[in-house]
Structure 1
């Protein structure tokens, strides 16, 4: 079974049952001790793309938003037994032509990391997929606030939703995280891990 370590802010590490190590938006927290097989960057803001923190295996693949959106098309990838679907992301602070979210399928589990975003039209069509895990930003400054994120979470209909990017200062904002109101809410503080 895959494991998710929430490192903080929007940074997380996924380790698959077979030992594949995936980092998404490296920047915050600890837990950069495992060499990466795959690194996903949702956009090129400094709080999402600190590759210097990530030790990489010789055959590590790094997918940046520019790769995922090459030619103006959202691309899918199959790497190390992980399927990655690129989906839209963006808002008034994040140009949708430069930002993406990722839906990963790993060990039979689906996980949607929305990146920095507000409500996007594609979220409605995700509901029939019954995603297992959804990670949504809730800071209310650079991204949607908890009320909008709650609406998005219900629209997406994932089994579990984790609030991320809870504060523009990069700290964990308990108040913002707790204000997310949706079925299946899971609160993870920086450094906490769960089985997916």
Structure 2
């Protein structure tokens, strides 16, 4: 299966069914445990310490200087085509993935996925929906790996929201949107706030920094607001613990303490 690991900001890793590893803009996030067969740098910053760590003598490195517009690179079972000044198309297994940049592009809309840098792109939301079957918002924050609020605010019906460190299989149908969050997460949060003592533990680099009691008034459909800071939560884990998408501030975990 074709696996996508979103690392945060503009960084991600794609692994083909034949185990070929492609990193796109390796820089942000934590999981760089696998060496790269291909590295694609779509920004002007073409090298980082992370890139040096994952590069071998056999790694193919592509950037704006090494692949001209209209040209393609075929390496093992992955093809990369530069379709614009800052836009690329990746063909892996039976999937096609657009990697968009700042500039608007004209495509036929038949690609399976499109990575769109929300804060920098000139592509309108109306055009964005027609880029591909599913739109994956990236670069949603200037300071954090991901800002769930920006992704949720994107008025694109076919968006696919993926948080940093999340892995998905591209062969599977993936639909995660605001309606799903409202229908599933919000009632659970309200129910937990009413029935249990719910506390939020702020973590910073693995260390607990503070523990705060959460009440019903702190919860809204987008997650939880405490002290004027929004923490947006993605998934319920084991019915009792949920984790933030890592928006502004430290990583946050919230636990329901079943106290009598």
2:159 to 181, 185, 191: 185
TM-score normalised by length of structure 1: 0.79
Structure 2 partner of 1:111: 97
Give 5+ residue unaligned stretches, structure 1: 90-99
User: What is the distance in 1 between the residues matched to 2:49 and 2:97?
Assistant: 22
- Alignment length (residue pairs): 169
User: What is the distance in 2 between the residues matched to 1:31 and 1:181?
Assistant: 30
Contact map agreement 2:136 2:161 (CA 8 A) in 1: yes
Structure 2 partner of 1:153: 128
Contact map agreement 1:4 1:15 (CA 8 A) in 2: yes
Select the structure of larger CA radius of gyration.
2
Structure 2 partner of 1:134: 114
Structure 2 partner of 1:80: 76
Give 5+ residue unaligned stretches, structure 2: 171-260
For structure 1, which segment, 172-181 or 51-60, has the greater mean C-alpha deviation from structure 2 after superposition? 51-60
Once the two structures are superposed, the pairs formed by residues 10-159 of structure 1 within 5 Å of their partners are 10-45=10-45, 49-50=47-48, 52-53=50-51, 54-69=53-68, 73-89=69-85, 100-115=86-101, 117-118=102-103, 120=104, 122-123=105-106, 125-127=107-109, 130-139=110-119, 143-144=120-121, 148-156=123-131, 158-159=132-133
Q: Which has the higher strand share?
A: 2
User: What is the distance in 1 between the residues matched to 2:114 and 2:163?
Assistant: 16
Partner SS for 2:155: coil
Once the two structures are superposed, the pairs formed by residues 157-172 of structure 1 within 5 Å of their partners are 158-172=132-146
Q: Post-superposition shift, 1:104? A: 0.6
Deviations 1:153-192 (A, max 9, x none): 2232x11111000011133111111122223211111111
Structure 1 partner of 2:220: none
Contact map agreement 1:26 1:51 (CA 8 A) in 2: no
Q: Write out the 4+ residue segments of structure 1 that deviate beyond 4 Å after TM superposition.
A: none
Contact map agreement 2:16 2:77 (CA 8 A) in 1: no
User: What is the distance in 1 between the residues matched to 2:62 and 2:147?
Assistant: 29
CA RMSD of aligned residues (A): 1.9
Partner SS for 2:38: strand
Which has the bigger relative contact order, CA under 8 A and spacing at least 6? 1
Q: Post-superposition shift, 1:149? A: 4.6
Distance 1:136 1:83, change over 3 A: same
